Chain A
């Protein structure tokens, strides 16, 4: 299992954005267990400081050249170097291109103390030591190997993956819960032993590479066939037959194109159909449960009136009352339901309409629990709407699917007929010229090459399918831990109920023919408009703040499931963004709780313009001066040590400093 970095100290020198104070130039801070706050207003360098921490660890390489943690269908074998813009991120921010600016980081990886220093203008390593001993050679190759080994991962690419998707949590970027590729790679990297993780990544690359080569060859073959057809068309002999061949070939290609498009449509509809089938079946169960809940409430009431009513008769009355459906004739009988409800509401007998005073059988006066009933009825109405909507979508998809299948059958017949026609016409053509013979040979060579590539892809794919079973098994073993942990954090972070659920998705490693089913986790959440918990399949299915909090719960759950060596660091950008006042308290407390576990560290930036969360990050409001001093001690105060921007220069009365004090204590 991976060992995650525990930040110890950060030091930045000669970097104009963080001039520091006269007594202590630059930044030099310990990152102790618990919360470290980076406080400042816009433009003082909060994000830049987080980037320094990130780039100290990634060096001049990342998952992509732009530095964005984008994960494609396969991972590169080695981390690409950052492009010029990304590499000059720090240089571009100050005059003089940050020449002479350096940063140092001390990090603990399990039992090892790792210290490193880099130039900020080009991220070059100046010094790197493990437990005080320098690396064998001061270069990125040795650095990356050392970090990979200390973290117990299979490659530096996996190191980057773990850094981006468990430790660094920038604002506004959906995490691994929403990104199927990133999640697949992350589960592989953290749940499998390094050798198996490396093997899968390698096989994925091989399948992807064979797939890509097959697609390229297929494109070349298409062109070669076109050239051949044109050359054949130029032959003077049998122009009528050639024209017919040309026309049939055009029709054949068009039909093939339609077939490919149809197949894509079938795949898309099948995926949606599966999702809707699940949602609909669950909606039906939910509808039954909502209906029965109303029924039960009525049952409790009616049982008092009819202590010995036969069950079948009772069920008739209950169903009428809960759904308005008459079980006897199947009609929907709203009026009968309303009449019956009115009688029950008064406590009158629903059969002979006798008032309570004349009833002999009654155990207790009938009292409908109006508010509870109202709530259950609202839930029932939502369930009915949800079920009806899904049933209609399901029916539409089924119709669409059937149409696609029928169309595919027609197309297949059409292609067979065209193929037969072309073979018949071919027999009528004169012997080909040398040019045509050469082109035919070229087509043949490409056809052979394509077959070879497809075979290669199939061989790698078969091997990959075998080892992907390891990820499935590991995911199955960790599902309980992940779901429990996610559930716990979700309760603490979200106002809605949420849970994690494992499903299977298509990995999309190869674009053609080869499919790979892999485990993937999804969030399910209650909402104001849908009954029960509904599956959220993309970031668009939740609000911005919910998305971030679900991401956070998933990261916490991953940290637990990965059995990270005792502790971890979470570096989070403006956790209060997009949260309301009440949510800030809830989220702040949850983050505080995380940071109190063992040696855990939380490094969070906060923008003072929305600072309701700050006091909660430190455990809640406090009037104690000693506590305020302690909180100041845990704060990297960019108002003091950052380069003063115009807003700060204009703040002669120290309003921002006062705002920070107020935020730290939580006093309004």
Chain B
């Protein structure tokens, strides 16, 4: 009797792929719960960016260290590729595919993405990723990430449509004038290691009456409201 082939050890690249796929599913699950799904391509990337830059508010590590700043808002090419793969794997629904012009004859896909609840695999995947509580999660700590995303999506969902669309571009880290377009926006400043978005979210506590504290969720809500105001320049 032949021995079963040993499971192939995952390379860093494989792990990154899985990580990105998990991220897409959790982002979209959070969007569903906040009632803002399906998410357009732009919104999904914007949401991914805000989740990255604000994750320290929830005492979590950012998924990425930087994103390219450009006129179209944040865009993660590798995340986009995994979105397509998940759609073909039947875990996501993609509707209204179209293409948007980019400079030098390039194009960017546009569509509206949501979880595909008809998929028989989706419930198990979400459960293992911590989106259904600690019990079925592979790592109970993953539920923290899910909670954070749900809270963030909820905070953004309270904004009017036009403000949601521009929220990432209005973020204090992304819109820092010291960084010109076509450069990398590092979430932690190279000079002193601070994350200005997180600092801003933390600062709201200063305006509370003495002794009162803000929960991380409240900080996200206040920060989202602040982004809404920044969109309109106030």
Chain A residues close to B by CB (< 8 Å): 274, 277-278, 281-282, 284-290, 292-293, 295-296, 299, 311-312, 314-316, 319, 327-328, 330, 375-376, 379, 472, 476, 479, 497, 501-504, 517, 519, 524, 526, 531-533
Find out whether the CB atom of B105 lies under 8 angstroms from the CB atom of A375. yes
Find out whether the CB atom of B96 lies under 8 angstroms from the CB atom of A287. no
Look across to chain A and name the residue whose beta carbon is closest to the beta carbon of B17.
A330
CB distance from A310 to the nearest CB of B (A): 9
CB distance from A338 to the nearest CB of B (A): 21
**In the complex, which residues 58-112 of chain B have their Cβ closer than 8 Å to any Cβ of chain A?**
66-68, 70, 75, 77-78, 80-81, 84-85, 87-90, 93-97, 99, 102-109, 111
**Is B190 an interface residue, CB under 8 A from the partner?**
yes
Contact residue among B68, B81, B107 (Cβ-Cβ distance under 8 Å from A281): B68
Find out whether the CB atom of B87 lies under 8 angstroms from the CB atom of A312. yes
Query: What are 23 of the A-B contact pairs (CB < 8 Å)?
Result: A278-B184, A281-B68, A285-B68, A285-B75, A285-B77, A286-B106, A288-B81, A289-B106, A289-B108, A292-B107, A296-B99, A299-B97, A299-B99, A311-B87, A311-B95, A311-B96, A327-B84, A376-B105, A476-B178, A504-B178, A519-B178, A526-B104, A533-B104
**Is B1 an interface residue, CB under 8 A from the partner?**
no
Chain B residues with CB under 8 A of A504: 178-179
Once bound together, how far apart are the Cα atoms of A590 and B178, in whole Å?
Answer: 32
Chain A residues with CB under 8 A of B16: none
Contact residue among B90, B104, B190 (Cβ-Cβ distance under 8 Å from A531): B104
* B153-192 vs A, Cβ < 8 Å mask (1 yes, 0 no): 0000000000000000000000001111111100000110
Find out whether the CB atom of B108 lies under 8 angstroms from the CB atom of A288. yes
Find out whether the CB atom of A312 lies under 8 angstroms from the CB atom of B68. no
Closest 4 CB pairs of A and B: A289-B106, A502-B180, A327-B88, A296-B99
Find out whether the CB atom of B105 lies under 8 angstroms from the CB atom of A312. no
Question: How many A-B residue pairs lie within 8 Å, measured between CB atoms?
Answer: 108
Once bound together, how far apart are the Cα atoms of A311 and B99, in whole Å?
Answer: 13
What's the dominant secondary structure at chain A's contact region? Answer: helix
Find out whether the CB atom of A501 lies under 8 angstroms from the CB atom of B85. no
Once bound together, how far apart are the Cα atoms of A316 and B183, in whole Å?
Answer: 33
Once bound together, how far apart are the Cα atoms of A503 and B179, in whole Å?
Answer: 7
Find out whether the CB atom of A532 lies under 8 angstroms from the CB atom of B103. yes
Find out whether the CB atom of A330 lies under 8 angstroms from the CB atom of B99. no
Chain B residues with CB under 8 A of A296: 99, 107
Chain A residues with CB under 8 A of B93: 312
Once bound together, how far apart are the Cα atoms of A476 and B183, in whole Å?
Answer: 14
Look across to chain B and name the residue whose beta carbon is closest to the beta carbon of A472.
B178
Extra pairs beyond A293-B102, A311-B97, A531-B104 (6, CB < 8 Å)? A285-B70, A288-B80, A292-B99, A330-B85, A379-B106, A501-B180
Chain B residues with CB under 8 A of A327: 84-85, 87-88
Once bound together, how far apart are the Cα atoms of A293 and B87, in whole Å?
Answer: 20
Find out whether the CB atom of B107 lies under 8 angstroms from the CB atom of A315. no
Find out whether the CB atom of A292 lies under 8 angstroms from the CB atom of B184. no
Find out whether the CB atom of A315 lies under 8 angstroms from the CB atom of B104. no
Chain A residues with CB under 8 A of B66: 277, 281
Find out whether the CB atom of A287 lies under 8 angstroms from the CB atom of B77. yes
Chain B residues with CB under 8 A of A282: 68, 182
Look across to chain A and name the residue whose beta carbon is closest to the beta carbon of B106.
A289
Chain B residues with CB under 8 A of A295: 99, 107, 109
Chain A residues with CB under 8 A of B178: 472, 476, 504, 519
Chain A residues with CB under 8 A of B78: 284
Chain A residues with CB under 8 A of B87: 311-312, 315, 327
Chain B residues with CB under 8 A of A277: 66, 184
Once bound together, how far apart are the Cα atoms of A274 and B179, in whole Å?
Answer: 14
Contact residue among B95, B107, B181 (Cβ-Cβ distance under 8 Å from A293): B107
Once bound together, how far apart are the Cα atoms of A476 and B191, in whole Å?
Answer: 18
Look across to chain A and name the residue whose beta carbon is closest to the beta carbon of B184.
A278
Chain B residues with CB under 8 A of A290: 106
